[in-house]
A and B are shown apart, each in its own frame.
Chain A
Amino acid sequence: DQQVKQNSPSLSVQEGRISILNCDYTNSMFDYFLWYKKYPAEGPTFLISISSIKDKNEDGRFTVFLNKSAKHLSLHIVPSQPGDSAVYFCAATGAGSYQLTFGKGTKLSVIP
């Protein structure tokens, strides 16, 4: 039973264009969502988060959008850079639970 789903295993984008990574969740108790970036041989690095009381959060080139009614969130990267090439994980937590529940990840390749 996968509570956090990232349905696209991979995504290729041209340098300078927008990258959009999607994530769906099923547990309505989740109230905080995070995106992590992971390079090979490294641990996940925190990128950006959003609370369920918001529908958008921006940090430089990264913006996360949350649609609670659709139980869907997305990460936008504009403009995409070759250094953004990594695996991106969507994670969720909430309802007093201390654990992060992760999706399977999306591998982003930014082509120069």
Chain B
Amino acid sequence: ETGVTQSPTHLIKTRGQQVTLRCSSQSGHNTVSWYQQALGQGPQFIFQYYREEENGRGNFPPRFSGLQFPNYSSELNVNALELDDSALYLCASSQVPSQETQYFGPGTRLLVL
């Protein structure tokens, strides 16, 4: 059974640029959620994707957007990067949207300069 994978592991961008982060869900899981973890904080929910549709969204601006593909992999796109976007971005998958237990990938560390 393959776990959740994310790429890249680290990324450095400049303020104003755009970034795309990628996630492959665990085998058998069709739901993907994205979280942002700032330094010293717990992960914060960004949004969830199920069957290629956004299925719930946290308190993040529209410049945070996503996609889910037919193979259930997912992308997180952030436009007009700000310094405060520097964080660990975590992807989590579950078998169905209502499954409470989500399984996390290792994360992508984004630094915005």
Residues of A in contact with B (beta carbons under 8 Å apart) = 4, 6, 32, 34, 36, 41-46, 49, 89, 91, 93, 97-105
Contact = CB atoms under 8 A, between A and B. Distances in A.
24 contacts: A6-B42, A32-B100, A41-B106, A42-B106, A42-B107, A43-B6, A44-B90, A44-B104, A46-B101, A46-B103, A49-B101, A89-B42, A91-B42, A93-B100, A98-B31, A98-B33, A98-B56, A98-B97, A98-B98, A99-B48, A100-B92, A102-B44, A103-B42, A104-B41
B43 A44 contact: yes
A40 to B, nearest CB: 11
A46 B92 CA distance: 11
B94 to A, nearest CB: 9
A97 B55 CA distance: 10
Nearest to B105: A43
A4 B42 contact: yes
Contact of A100 (B31, B55, B102, B106): B102
Nearest to A51: B100
Contact of B40 (A91, A93, A104): A104
A73 B43 CA distance: 19
Sorted from nearest, which 7 A-B pairs have the closest CB atoms? A102-B42, A43-B104, A99-B45, A32-B100, A98-B56, A43-B106, A44-B104
A41 B41 CA distance: 15
B100 A45 contact: no
B8 interface: no
Contact of A49 (B40, B97, B100): B100
B42 A45 contact: no
B48 A98 contact: yes
A43 B90 contact: yes
Q: Which of B98, B104, B107 counts the most A-chain CB atoms under 10 A from its CB?
A: B104
A8 B100 CA distance: 25
A51 to B, nearest CB: 8
Interface string B73-113: 00000000000000000101000011011111111000000
